[in-house]
């Protein structure tokens, strides 16, 4: 692939911007500035730097992010900073076939909800993991305002009726971690579903954290507000999620 095409595919600006970066000796490969935009490189395993920023070529982006509270999962947030502001610019600017450029979160979290976000520019993976037809389980750790009763746990598993849906909505699994905390597994993605389900059994959510999507768990060594690329094994697991 030509060097200018490589930079463009990775989100380093318009084609003109990428050509200008190359002409200005801002692109280094193997320790040398590359000034020919038409120079061809094998992209597999390619490492380079732009303006001193190291980068690895990825044909498609697959990331996980530990979302902190106080961020909206939107490219155009209304009241809080965008969670995408936690990512470097190339990931926000990667060209896509859709109207919105950059990686997209697979399933949103409310601004006050923390935990695991998977982000990608792979439309097939986004559909597979987000579509309710595939029933990808999502595990939440829920802190409640009042002590959780056995009856409430039982109701959440058997199904509760939400205001806008006459059909009962049930958790795939529900276990009590301690007096004020639940681990709740859902396979649907209705609006504010966890909060509304807990309210339906007579309790209230004080804090909500997503710990797992499919078989992907939030690593304990990934701090809040930080992101990383999925490993090959994690990506394979994501591709098989159901």
- Which pLDDT score, from 0 to 100, does residue 98 have? 78
37 in the same domain as 51: yes
- Which pLDDT score, from 0 to 100, does residue 165 have? 75
Give me the catalytic one of 20, 110, 112, 206.
Answer: 110
- Which pLDDT score, from 0 to 100, does residue 242 have? 62
pLDDT digits (tens, 9 = 90+) for 3-47: 999 999 999 999 999 999 999 999 999 999 999 999 999 999 999
143 in the same domain as 125: no
Total domains in the chain come to 3
78 in the same domain as 179: no
230 in the same domain as 164: no
pTM of the model: 0.92
Block residue for tokens 């498609």: 60
CATH code (residue 176): 3.30.70.1560
Q: What are phi and psi of 153, to 5 degrees?
A: -60, -45
160 in the same domain as 124: no
44 in the same domain as 76: no
Q: Which residues of the chain have a pLDDT value below 70?
A: 242
Show the domain range for 200: 137-213
E strands, 91-132, where? 104-105, 114-120
Transcribe 128-142 into DSSP letters.
HHH-GGG---EEEEE
Q: Catalytic annotation on 206?
A: no
- Which pLDDT score, from 0 to 100, does residue 156 have? 97
């Amino acid at each position: 692939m030509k060097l200018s095409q490589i930079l463009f595919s990775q989100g380093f600006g318009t084609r003109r911007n990428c050509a200008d970066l190359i002409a200005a000796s801002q692109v280094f490969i193997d320790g040398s500035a590359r000034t020919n935009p038409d120079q061809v490189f094998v992209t597999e395993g390619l490492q380079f730097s732009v303006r001193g920023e190291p980068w690895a070529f990825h044909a498609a982006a697959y990331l996980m992010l530990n979302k902190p509270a106080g961020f909206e999962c939107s490219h155009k947030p209304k009241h809080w900073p965008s969670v995408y502001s936690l990512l470097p610019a190339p990931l926000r600017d990667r060209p896509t076939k859709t109207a919105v450029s950059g990686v997209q979160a697979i399933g949103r979290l409310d601004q006050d909800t923390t935990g695991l976000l998977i982000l990608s520019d792979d439309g097939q993976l986004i559909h597979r993991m987000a579509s309710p037809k595939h029933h990808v389980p999502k595990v939440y750790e829920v802190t409640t305002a009042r002590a959780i009763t056995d009856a409430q746990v039982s109701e959440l598993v058997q199904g509760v009726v939400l205001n806008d849906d006459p059909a009962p909505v049930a958790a795939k699994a529900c276990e009590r971690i301690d007096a004020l905390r639940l681990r709740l597994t859902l396979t649907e993605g209705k609006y504010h579903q966890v909060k509304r389900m807990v309210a339906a059994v007579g309790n209230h959510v004080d804090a909500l954290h997503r710990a797992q999507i499919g078989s992907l768990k939030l690593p304990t060594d990934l701090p809040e507000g930080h992101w990383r690329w999925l490993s090959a094994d994690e990506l394979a697991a994501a591709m098989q999620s159901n």
